[in-house]
Amino acid sequence: MSDKFIKTDKAAQILKLLGDKTRLMMIQLMRHRECCVCEFQELFVMSQPAISQHLRKLKDSGALNEEKRGQWVFYSLNQSSEYFALIEAILGQLAKPNDALQKISSNTEGSDCGC
Amino acid sequence: MSDKFIKTDKAAQILKLLGDKTRLMMIQLMRHRECCVCEFQELFVMSQPAISQHLRKLKDSGALNEEKRGQWVFYSLNQSSEYFALIEAILGQLAKPNDALQKISSNTEGSDCGC
DNA sequence: TTTGCATATAATTATATGCTTATGTAATAA
DNA sequence: TTATTACATAAGCATATAATTATATGCAAA
């Protein structure tokens, strides 16, 4: 709060979290809108618990907001997080997600997973 | 070269490397000038091989230049690296290294380790 | 209330990581 | 040459990480 700059220790922690292909892609997808867990399940070739655990790590760090609506859970970037500026700075250097992700990341209207 | 933006896979790799307190601090120290290995040895409370291994990982990624001069080895940020812009973007969000590091990081004249 | 769906948690396992000590190598000094 | 200094590499070990399967929870529809 008091300082918009992040100390090395904390920065290393969040960079380690972003240093995983799956989590980094999740963050990219959430850059412009919230995502429903089921969207990630469609995209990533891994079990549902694996996805849930990645999201939990990101949420525990404070980088994500979680919102339950009915039986669904939506995650989004927490713009109030101390890491938000860093995350934005990183995302600004990344190429757009391609292929399968394109469809979803370009759909800024919101999830169309049926939720 | 063809694209200044980094793909998610590669970005995750370099972020994982930066997601270690020791390596992130090394990179911070090299932000404005090259550093001699012996400088890191003075700073970090760990064995010489541990430091050597951290530097090798960073160098293997392409993020660092290595220059041998006499019996000393100097490392510096590789400004031609595909990761350079990303690294700079990250460093721009970090607080200045403090305490013991201050002395060294503010000494832009060069190493005074006796080399 | 029972069933089903969406997601989370627990337990386990395989692999990766970061450190240590021991040893190797290359350059300088005696 | 031999010794010393600066650094790298190898091997081994303890811990961390990311995946899996099995199970639990919470909401909603029938």
- Dist. CA A59–CA B64, nearest whole Å: 32
B99 or B13: which carries more pLDDT confidence? B13
For residue range B28-73, what is the model confidence (pLDDT) as tens digits? 999 999 999 999 999 999 999 999 999 999 999 999 999 999 999 9
Dist CA A84 CA A63 (whole Å) = 7
- The pLDDT value recorded for residue A103 is 58
Strands (E), chain B: 35-36, 64-69, 72-77
Smallest CA–C1' separation from B72, nucleotide: D6
Q: Is the pLDDT of residue A101 over 90?
A: no
Binary contact (A24, B18; C-beta < 8 A): no
* pLDDT confidence of residue A97: 81
Q: Are the beta carbons of A82 and A10 closer than 8 angstroms?
A: yes
Which residues face B69 on adjacent strands? B72
Q: Using the predicted structure, report yes or no on whether residue A46 has a pLDDT greater than 70.
A: yes
Please check the confidence at residue A82 and state whether its pLDDT lies above 90. yes
> Residue A4 — pLDDT band, cuts 50, 70, 90?
confident
Of A8, A17, A94, the CB nearest to B11: A94
**Percentage, residues of chain A above pLDDT 90:** 79
Whole-number Å distance between alpha carbons of A107 and A101: 10
Which of strand D's nucleotides are less than 7 A from any protein C-beta? 5-11, 17-22, 26-28
| Residue B64, phi then psi, degrees to nearest 5 | -120, 150
Query: How many CB atoms are located within 10 Å of the residue B114 CB?
Result: 7
Please check the confidence at residue A11 and state whether its pLDDT lies above 90.
yes
Partner residue facing A15 (CB), from B18, B85, B97: B18
Residue-wise pLDDT for B61-109, tens only, equals: 999 999 999 999 999 999 999 999 999 999 999 998 875 565 565 666 6
Asked if residue B23 has pLDDT above 70, the reply is: yes
Interface residue B91 vs chain A (CB under 8 A): no
